[in-house]
Amino acid sequence: MTLIFWLIASAMTLGIIGLLLWPLLRRTTVMATGECESRLAVYRQQFAELEQDRKNGTLNDELFQQAQRELERRLLDESGSTDLVPAVVRRRVNSLLVAVLLAIFIPTASLGLYWELGNPLAVIHPSVPALSAQGNADSGHQTAEGMEALSERLKTKLEQNPDDGVGWALLARSYVEMGQHNDAVMIYEKAMKLLPDDPQLLVDYADALGVLHGRKLMGKPEWLIRQALKLDPNHVKALMLAGTVAFDRKEFRQAVRYWERASANLPIDAEGEVRQELLSGINEAKRFAGEKPTIVKAVSDVASSTMPGSQAAAISGTVNLAPRLAAKAVSMNTLFVFAREINGPPMPVSIVRATKQDMPFMFRLDDSTSPMPSRKLSSAGTVMIVARLSKSDQAMPQSGDLEGVSQPVRPGANKITVVIDHERP
């Protein structure tokens, strides 16, 4: 891979240098030849004009001979003159100087720019996304065969350089991507000996072991997770796995603490599904522990909920299901709670999603849960809060869905109670 890369790069550089230098090296000859040819053409024209004047009788033989000798003398003087030579030599020196400078500057600048802006290590250790992209560039997705071939090439390189812990960790992750967890575990073990203080490596190793052992994290996986938390107490994946271990042991309060720490340390750009999964897990653990569930809200843009004005514009409350509709709600699981402007379009200005198991569901609607940035709850007027148990798991209303509607409220209201008390016709 390295040799091929440098051969291609060198060939491209030489090709560019050749294209630039060829016209410079030819310029002297072309310019000198062009000048001489233009001067000779002028004298040919003058000789032809003298001949024509003699034929027309304008010049007699004596004047013709005299004029012809004068032209020949001037031609000889100019062709033998040294005036042309210095100009040609001067141009040749300048062209050669430019050519030499370009031949030195282009490769040097190219190498310097690549070293500064490029990624020289990628020639040796391509990233996992790069491995995926290379495997099937034509179709735009990675085939299993291509991924396996690239992993084997990386493994061959690592066998020649066995002390490269980062390379072994990368190989292990590629095996996980291919679903070869048994091979991944052996490679993780080798990488861990080289990088014993890398918390990400430890939790990835624990995760692979857990998959191999039937999704169980007891034993060595748990020990690896604890080691990772000693190195980084706020490592998100380690906290999530530690919470899973505690939940499996029915230590629900401990699971809540781990998952709440993980949720608090999620990066701002974390995917909404990850946040929702964590919050759902926290609520489930709290129910088993006999605690009140956490308010669950849409998490597509959690960070914006801390913006000025967001807190004041929030609407919070509780959703309950009327007991008489409990039988009809058996086959329904998805709960939507949204705010809709009374004098506006039917599209909600804020919406959250939960499950029937979350009821009584404590909701909070604000600008972070607005589905469209152009229409936020804080800029809305009077709204109604609608709670809907969906038969189809879709936000669009369907016949047979169970609904409840609040009284008109304004952004900033709290302690709103919405009772799901009727069925859509």
Longest dimension (CA), the chain: 135
pLDDT, tens only, 20-72: 767 666 654 444 455 556 666 666 777 777 777 777 777 677 777 777 777 77
Beta carbons within 10 angstroms of residue 225's beta carbon: 29
pLDDT for 229 equals 93
Report the candidate in 271, 230, 278 with the shortest Cα–Cα distance to residue 257. 278
pLDDT for 404 equals 93
pLDDT for 313 equals 74
pLDDT, tens only, 281-299: 888 888 888 877 655 444 4
Distance CA 378, CA 368 (A): 10
pLDDT for 337 equals 92
pLDDT for 142 equals 43
Average pLDDT, the chain: 75
Answer yes or no: is pLDDT of 319 > 90.
Answer: yes
User: Who wins on pLDDT, 151 or 132?
Assistant: 151
Cβ distance 239 to 232 under 8 Å? no
* Mean pLDDT to the nearest integer, 8-15: 76
What residues does each domain of the chain span? 2-72+88-118, 146-289, 302-423
- Secondary element (H or E) of residue 404: strand 402-405
250, 253, 255, 260 alpha-carbon torsion, rounded to 10°:
160
User: Who wins on pLDDT, 276 or 181?
Assistant: 181
What is the residue-wise DSSP string for 60-108? -HHHHHHHHHHHHHHHHHHHT-SSHHHHHHHHHHHHHHHHHHHHHHHHH
- The strand pair at 315-321 and 416-420 is best described as parallel
* Mean pLDDT to the nearest integer, 370-391: 81
pLDDT for 414 equals 86
Answer yes or no: is pLDDT of 175 > 80.
Answer: yes
Q: Is it true that the peptide bond before 408 is cis, omega within 30 degrees of 0? A: no
User: Who wins on pLDDT, 99 or 213?
Assistant: 213
Place 84 in a pLDDT band, splitting at 50, 70 and 90: very low
Q: Do domains 146-289 and 302-423 have the same CATH topology?
A: no
CATH 2.60.40.1120 fits 302-423, yes or no: yes
pLDDT for 309 equals 44
CATH 2.40.50.140 fits 146-289, yes or no: no
User: Who wins on pLDDT, 420 or 346?
Assistant: 420
* Mean pLDDT to the nearest integer, 158-162: 84
Report the candidate in 389, 368, 372 with the shortest Cα–Cα distance to residue 296. 368
User: Who wins on pLDDT, 97 or 261?
Assistant: 261
Beta carbons within 10 angstroms of residue 110's beta carbon: 15
pTM here is: 0.41
Provide the phi-psi class of 343: left if phi over 0, else alpha when psi is between -120 and 50, else beta.
Answer: alpha
* Mean pLDDT to the nearest integer, 133-160: 63
User: Who wins on pLDDT, 119 or 260?
Assistant: 260
User: Who wins on pLDDT, 394 or 333?
Assistant: 333
- Secondary element (H or E) of residue 59: none
pLDDT for 267 equals 73
Answer yes or no: is pLDDT of 177 > 70.
Answer: yes
pLDDT for 418 equals 94
Residue 336's DSSP bridge partners are 353, 388
